[in-house]
Structure formats: structure tokens, C-alpha cells
Amino acid sequence: MSAAVAEAPPATRVDYLNADYGVKSWLLTKDHKRIALLYLGSITVMFFVGGALAVLMRLHLIDPAGGLVQPDTYNKLFTMHGTIMIFFFLIPSIPAVLGNFLVPMMVGAKDLAFPRINLLSWYIFIAGATLALYALVAGGVDTGWTFYTPYSSTYSNTHVITMAVGIFIAGFSSILTGLNFIVTIHKMRAPGLTWFRLPLFLWAIYATSLIMILGTPVVAITLLLVGLEKWLHVGIFDPALGGDPLLFQHLFWFYSHPAVYIMVLPGMGVVSEVIACFSRKRIFGYSFVAFSSMSIAVIGFLVWGHHMFVAGQSIYAGLIFSLLSFLVAIPSAIKVFNWTATLYQGSISYDAPMLYALGFIGLFTMGGLTGLFLASLATDVHLSGTYFVVAHFHYIMVGGAVMAYMGGIHYWWPKISGRMYPDMWARLAAAIIFIGFNLTFFPQFMLGYLGMPRRYATYPAEFQVLNVMSSAGATILGVGYLIPLIYLIWSMRYGPIAPANPWRAKGLEWTTPSPPPTQNFDVTPVVTEEAYAYGPPRPAAEGAHD
């Protein structure tokens, strides 16, 4: 692999951060790296808004009679928490921040295929997020992030239309991002970079992008129809006016189930990169991991009915969706096994990114296995609509996706910022997050099995002990997230200068200086070896990849 890197001392070297100054140079940038940072700032804000709402919820739930707010307000808290976290944090997070930053570099290109569309996608995101925040301060929405009709379309008198339009707009940001990635990965790979030499992060991003472009338009139309129904008082999903509320659910979940794979697949990509680097080994079963990403994307479109087992769907539909839901678990299991096998005989270091990645594997395993309880028809009857579901998806989304996001941010932080973060604080925060997370959400599995429904502002007293445990965990988790916010910002100014490749990692992005110049590569690299070529030098082997 050619690597033309001339590392001038930081004071004189021009990189993408100091290439140009001023607000205009950021707001009108076409550089994918700057756009990634624009996204980073925006979604971090949304994360902490959503997080604050969660803290309020957990504080309120310490008291079975509802200690903090009125039921109406609580209903708005969980709705806004869900919509903001899902549509304005999780869905963009890894793709829009790490994907935007890394995809061109990992394929050896100077930028994405369509840089201006990339910038446009950020502005669209901001427009959507502004509407969402406006809905929040104007009084909130209280339909749940699932917007079930006819409650949302006919009965609720909160800012449903504003929120629906906000999500609709943000959906286009998602679509454009996915479109950009697909074209870039297909058409702009450096010479020698065949599909099966791609880093697994790109396979994951590619699979995610397919879901983004196929699924998002459906939810966009669905929310538009709900908005129309509310605005014009017509009956598209309202049975009183001839509509069908189940049709709404089918349309909604047709996107929203694949959406959870949009949220977790990129995290899996990050985990592959980190595990390989910090055990200094090629990922075990590369092609299996690559194909598993694609299988998850495909099968993920066929399982939406498992959200509707008790909704009024036919039993036979339920039988089919249940079987497919079990099958979609298999590719994820394959990944977990392959990551674990990668560690075998590796040279493992305990840097913060690795701690996050390992935490992902453990918590994702638990989250995924608890998904089997819900895919299983007989147990789902008892567990759906309860805290078991809440615990399950938080294990995947927070224990999985957010931890992977944190791991990725830490792993590529030197490349992005040119600085190192303080190592001990990072590891400490990772540990606090892991502990706080489990304390918060494990009791919720138990609450669900006991029968406590979700979205309850008040609850029977016998559930209090577990709720208090969960709320205690949430405070610890909150502290855990604040620590990286502080030291990462601190490091941008005061952190030690990072070398080009502090982790001695493989991957085209590490052949550039930290931070990289605007054009990434002075000379287009030519790729001659497999991804993760950490092993002993091979005798010029052709096609010996696994």
C-alpha cells in the first residue's frame, strides 16, 4: 500500500481543520470531513436533549404515583425522548458522523461522490431537527414515537403535525446520505480495492444505506398521510371515517423495523474495525461477516409483523413473521461468534475503543437473545407492550449502537481532531457507562415479565423496587455520558498531538496525517492486500482471503 505522507510539524501543516477559517467556510463547506463534524455537533445536542428527557422520566418513575410531572407531561416526555433519540440521534449517528468522515478515506477517494448533496443533507437534517425542537418547546407531542392512529390522527391535540413534518424532512437527510454512500462505494474505490478487500465498516455502511433508501420513503409517506388526516379531518387511518388503523401500523413498521438495523448495523461495522485493530488480527470469517450484514438488511425487511402479534394481525401472518424473526437473529449471531474468534491468539490491548467494542458484544448478545423472547409468539403475547420490550431495545440501541458509536468516536478521534483524548478518563467513562447501563435496564426485563406495561406514568406499588433500581442506574449512566463530552471537548485544545497512526492500525484512513488534509490523499492509493493485514507478511498470495 503506498502511503505518501509528509508530516510537517503541526504549526505549518495544512489540514482540513485549518485550511480555511470562518463560519462561512464551515457552513458552505463541501469537505466530507467538515460536514461530519457539523453532524457531530448537531447530533450531540440532540443526544443530550433526548437524554435529559430520559433523566426526567426516570426521576418521575421513582414514585409509583408519579413523583415529578402530570401524566400528560410524562406522556410527552417519553414521546419526545423516543422520537428525538431515534430520528435525530441514532439514525444519523454513525453514518452521518463516522460514515461521512471515513467512507471516502476508506475507499481511497478525495471526497464522497456528491459533496454538495452531502452538505444539503446536513441542512435538511437541521431543518427537521429544528421542527422537532420547536415541537418540544411549543408543548411537545404525546402519541409515543409510534404515532398509532386514530389517537395521533384524531384524538391527540398536541403538535403531531409539526413533529411528523420534522421527521419527514429528516428522512430525506437519511436518504441522501445513503445514496451518497452507495454511489461512492460502487464507483470510487481506489485501484486494487475489490469488494472483498473492503473494510467491514464499509460493508456495514453499504448494507445500512440500502435500508435507508428503500425504507425511509415509506415512513415518509406514512407520516405525511397522518399529517394530512389530522389537518383535513379525513379518514385514512381512522375507522370512524372508513380508514384502517392496522394499515397504519403495517406501513409504519415496514420502515421502523429495518430502521433498527440502520441503527445497529453501522455499530457492528465499527466493532469489526476496532476488534481487528486492538487484537492485531484479521477479522475471523471476513466474508461471513460481510454477508451477514447484507442478510440482515434483506431479512430485516421481512419481519415487521412481529411488532403486531397482538395487534389484530391474522394468526397465520404471525406464524410467518415469527419464523422470519428467528432467522434474522442468525446473521447477528454469526458476527458475535466471528468477533469472539478474532480475539483468539490475538494481541489484545485494553484501550477505550476496545472496551466499548467488547461491551457491545456482550450487551448486544443479551439484547439479541432477549429478542428471541419477543420473536417467539407464545411469550410475546405476555411480553409485548411491557418493559421487557423497552429493556430489549435499549440493550441493542444503547448497550449496542451507542457503545459502538462511542467506541468509534474514540478510535477515530485522533484522526478527526489530531489530538489524543485522556486515556484513563476514557476507560473510566467506558466502565461507568457499562455499569450504569446494566443497572438501568436489567431490572426492566424483570419488570416486563412481571407485567408492568410501558408508557405508564404511574404504576402499582409492587413494581417500585425495580423502578428505583433502574432510576439509580440511569443517574450513573448519565454521568458516564457527560464525562466523554467534557474530555473530548477539552482534548480538542489541550490533548496531546496525535501521530498519523497512533493505534498502528491498518486501513487507508490511517495512511493520512492526523488530521488529514482536505483532499485526503495527495496521490490516489493503490491497494494490494486484504483488509486487516495484521498477520505475518504473506508470501505473495492471490485470492487467499477467507
**Burial environment of residue 213 by CB neighbours within 10 A (0 to 12, 13 to 18, 19 or more):** middle
Closest CB 442 distance from another protein, rounded Å = 11
Interaction between residue 216 and another protein (CB under 8 A)? yes
Closest CB 431 distance from another protein, rounded Å = 14
Q: Which is nearer to another protein, 496 or 535 (CB)?
A: 535
Whether 313 contacts 338, CB under 8 Å: no
Instruction: Name every residue whose Cβ is closer than 8 Å to that of residue 399 and which is 6 or more positions away in sequence.
Output: 359, 360, 362, 363, 364, 366, 367, 437, 438, 441
DSSP string for residues in 49-113: HHHHHHHHHHHHTTSTT-SSS-HHHHHHHHHHHHHHHIIIIITTIIIIIIIHHHHHHHHT-SS-S
With left for phi above 0 and alpha for psi between -120 and 50, is residue 186 left, alpha or beta? alpha
Closest CB 225 distance from another protein, rounded Å = 7
Q: Which of residues 439-458 bind another protein (CB under 8 A)?
A: 446, 449-451, 453-458
Cis-peptide, bond into residue 536, ω within 30° of zero: no
Mark 315-334 with x for binding to another protein (rule: CB under 8 A) and - for no binding: x--xx--xx--xx-xx--xx
Of the candidate residues 40, 54, 113, 170, the single one contacting another protein (CB under 8 A): 113
Tell me, by CB under 8 A, how many residues bind another protein. Answer: 142
Interaction between residue 465 and another protein (CB under 8 A)? yes
Mark 485-514 with x for binding to another protein (rule: CB under 8 A) and - for no binding: ------------------------------
Interaction between residue 281 and another protein (CB under 8 A)? yes
Q: Which of residues 371-390 bind another protein (CB under 8 A)?
A: 372-373, 375-379, 381-382, 384-386
Of the candidate residues 18, 460, 479, 489, the single one contacting another protein (CB under 8 A): 460
Of the candidate residues 80, 112, 262, 271, the single one contacting another protein (CB under 8 A): 112
Question: Among 12-20, 37-45, 218-226, 507-515, which window interacts with another protein (CB under 8 A)?
Answer: 218-226
Q: What are phi and psi of 339, to 5 degrees?
A: -65, -40
Q: Give the residue from 345, 480, 483 showing the smallest Cα distance to 422.
A: 483
Interaction between residue 256 and another protein (CB under 8 A)? no
Q: Which is nearer to another protein, 129 or 374 (CB)?
A: 374
Q: What are phi and psi of 419, to 5 degrees?
A: -130, 155
Of the candidate residues 187, 317, 479, 528, the single one contacting another protein (CB under 8 A): 187
- The angle formed by the CA atoms of residues 524, 526 and 532, to the nearest 5 degrees, is 115
Question: Among 39-47, 243-251, 264-272, 424-432, which window interacts with another protein (CB under 8 A)?
Answer: 243-251
Interaction between residue 28 and another protein (CB under 8 A)? no
Question: Among 125-133, 161-169, 345-353, 417-425, which window interacts with another protein (CB under 8 A)?
Answer: 345-353
Instruction: Name every residue whose Cβ is closer than 8 Å to that of residue 224 and which is 6 or more positions away in sequence.
Output: 164, 168
Interaction between residue 284 and another protein (CB under 8 A)? yes
**Rounded Cα gap, residues 491 and 82, in angstroms:** 31
Cα dihedral across residues 55, 56, 62, 64: positive or negative: negative
